Amino acid sequence: MDKTILIIEDDAEINNMLKILLEQNGYGTISAYSGTEGVLVHNAEISLILLDLMLPGKSGEEIIRELKQKHNVPIIVMSAIHDVSKKVDLFSLGADDYVTKPFHNDELLARISARLRTNPDSIADTIAYKNILLNKNDFTVSCKGVPIELSKHEFELLKLLMENPARTCTKSMIYDTVWDYENSADDNTLNVHISKLRKKLRVPDPETEYIETVWGIGYRLKK
Amino acid sequence: MDKTILIIEDDAEINNMLKILLEQNGYGTISAYSGTEGVLVHNAEISLILLDLMLPGKSGEEIIRELKQKHNVPIIVMSAIHDVSKKVDLFSLGADDYVTKPFHNDELLARISARLRTNPDSIADTIAYKNILLNKNDFTVSCKGVPIELSKHEFELLKLLMENPARTCTKSMIYDTVWDYENSADDNTLNVHISKLRKKLRVPDPETEYIETVWGIGYRLKK
DNA sequence: ATCCGAAAAATAAATTTTTTATAAATTCAA
DNA sequence: TTGAATTTATAAAAAATTTATTTTTCGGAT
């Protein structure tokens, strides 16, 4: 039971980028490349609309009105406009939220899921570090908005590090917490898990080095 | 040594309730009743900020930015459940954690101590000598605020010296403690390590000579 | 049986430690 | 005071250790 999102965006490249992002995150998508096309395509299957404000043809205000009239679902407006007064107008017309371009993927995703969400608590159990969001409650991790699949041990390991930012986690501390036993001196298990974790974090974010090695001691998050 | 928490909350009753809760748990507190007042009051004594999101005056985003700019300490945002869509924005601005109202006292305290790592030891485990700070717990050393990367043996060596300021550490004492074995008379290992240590300490602080040679005996920190 | 994650093993890479060599400083005796 | 002996300082090398990564193996879950 996928939620379907209607993307109304005239720039084909951005439209496609959004499509990929949303589909990677488990949403269905329908693309429209003008406001009028968007209104035409809009149907009962659609749970939320992403609307680019700078469209050729009809004004944003009018499109919102027509969309809302057809099926009243949450509309998130994407806009480069910083003008506050315009925001108020759009809100009063029924736009439910805003993102200003350029936006981070994870911001957009959070706003979408906030609008669609049934239980709004879950984000409260989220801890953040740089571009990583880790939710202790549902064991999900994302980096730059891209979901990351971690095994149980990898998750616990990252959680331990993120709960102790700036502090060095000694190897024995890590083994105690994540593995519940003391490691034998020549154990390579931790190295392997750190390696995998780094590899997975590199996929969405090759620039940032998150985990720092403290030689002979353990690991810590890089400042 | 108490940690002081700045409470920024416009509701006087809640503010006072938080004040009592925190003081009962060993924290010092300072109360502010608006974002602007909070920014004004914020100073170097404060270790953590509790920020209510629904403030009159400036927006939460702006206040976080200004607070972080003044002194970068952890900020925990308290917000009502319906502000959920704003959360990612706040994360990206530097809010470090969230609690949604209403929250349990225990939850709040847990988040505070997690952010402070108020491990009472962590401060006690830091020893100082002149411009050097050495933290036994997380194996970090800094000089004049500049972090210094030390290898394990270098760290142990400096720790031994700093734990015995004024006293001369004999070579055999050093070998016993740092290397766990007696040295042979013609061993140059210790000299090399002392040399490296001095070299690394010279980088941030070329003026000061920290380690003194006691001819034929060992080393000690210079008075 | 097959798939998947964890552990083990093997190998490669990086870092630290020790050794070696040489220079510099200190001591002490003549 | 001088010079030989001793001790320390430093740099550069070789050796040892630790960590990183890939591949293989193992064992449980489906």
- pLDDT tens sequence across B179-221: 877 665 568 899 999 999 999 999 999 989 999 999 989 999 9
For B217, what's the count of Cα atoms within 13 Å in the CB-facing half-sphere?
Answer: 10
Comparing alpha-carbon positions, the chain A residue that sits nearest to B97 is A127
Residue numbers in chain A where pLDDT is lower than 70: 1-2, 54-59, 72, 79-104, 107, 114-115, 117-126, 137-138, 166, 180-186
Tell me the C-alpha to C-alpha distance, in Å, between residue B134 and each of A10, A111, B3, B171, B209: 58, 44, 20, 22, 17
Q: What does the CA dihedral B140, B141, B146, B151 come to, rounded to 10 degrees?
A: -80
Percent above pLDDT 90 for chain A? 12
Chain B residues with CB within 8 Å of chain A CB: 81-82, 84-85, 87-89, 91-92, 96-100, 114, 117, 122, 137-140, 151-152
Residue A181, both tokens: 């036993």
Which pLDDT score is estimated for B197? 96
Nearest nucleotide relative to A199: CA against C1': D21
Nearest 5°: the CA angle B51, B54, B55 is 80
Distance separating alpha carbons of residues A110 and A21, to the nearest angstrom: 13
Contacts 24+ apart (CB under 8 A), B188-196: B193/B153, B193/B154, B193/B157, B194/B157, B194/B219, B196/B154
Within 193-212 of chain B, which residues have Cβ less than 7 Å from strand C? 193
The verdict on a CB contact (< 8 Å) between A163 and B100 is: no
How many Å lie between the alpha carbon of A98 and the closest alpha carbon of chain B?
A: 10
Percent above pLDDT 90 for chain B? 30
Which pLDDT score is estimated for A119? 34
Comparing alpha-carbon positions, the chain B residue that sits nearest to A161 is B114
The verdict on a CB contact (< 8 Å) between A126 and B98 is: yes
How many Å lie between the alpha carbon of A172 and the closest alpha carbon of chain B?
A: 13
Which pLDDT score is estimated for A58? 63
Nearest by CB to A110, which of B81, B87, B152? Answer: B87
Distance separating alpha carbons of residues A68 and A60, to the nearest angstrom: 12
Topology of domain A4-116, CATH: Rossmann fold (3.40.50)
The SS3 call for residue B30 is strand
Task: Centre a 10 Å sphere on the Cβ of residue B169 and count the other Cβ atoms it contains.
Answer: 20
Average pLDDT, integer, range B64-80: 78
Comparing alpha-carbon positions, the chain A residue that sits nearest to B102 is A121
Q: How does DSSP classify residue A79?
A: E
How many Å lie between the alpha carbon of A161 and the closest alpha carbon of chain B?
A: 12
Comparing alpha-carbon positions, the chain B residue that sits nearest to A170 is B138
Counting one residue from chain A and one from chain B, the pairs whose CB atoms sit within 8 A come to 56
The verdict on a CB contact (< 8 Å) between A106 and B84 is: no
Statement: the pTM of the whole predicted model exceeds 0.75:
no
Q: How does DSSP classify residue B137?
A: T
Protein residue closest to D19, using CA and C1': A191
Nucleotides of C under 7 A from a protein CB: 5-10, 15-21, 26-27
- List the domain boundaries for chain B: 4-118, 123-221
Q: Are A79 and A39 contacting, i.e. CB atoms less than 8 angstroms apart?
A: no
Superfamily of domain B4-118: Response regulator (3.40.50.2300)
Q: Are B131 and B140 contacting, i.e. CB atoms less than 8 angstroms apart?
A: no
Distance separating alpha carbons of residues A88 and A85, to the nearest angstrom: 5
Nearest to B50 by CA among B71, B73, B23: B73
Q: Are A202 and A162 contacting, i.e. CB atoms less than 8 angstroms apart?
A: no
Which pLDDT score is estimated for B1? 55
Rounded to whole angstroms, the maximal C-alpha distance in chain B is 73
Q: Are A168 and B140 contacting, i.e. CB atoms less than 8 angstroms apart?
A: yes
- The answer to whether A175 CB is within 7 Å of strand C is no
Distance separating alpha carbons of residues A60 and A35, to the nearest angstrom: 8
Which pLDDT score is estimated for A100? 61
In sequence order, which residues have a C-beta less than 8 Å from that of residue B152 and are 6 or more positions away? A215, A216, A217
Distance separating alpha carbons of residues A217 and B150, to the nearest angstrom: 11
Residue B159, both tokens: 């720790």
The verdict on a CB contact (< 8 Å) between B98 and A124 is: yes
Q: Please determine, looking at this structure, whether the domain spanning A123-221 carries the CATH number 3.40.190.10.
A: no
**What are the strands of the beta sheet with A46-52, ordered from one edge?**
A28-32, A4-8, A46-52, A75-79, A97-100
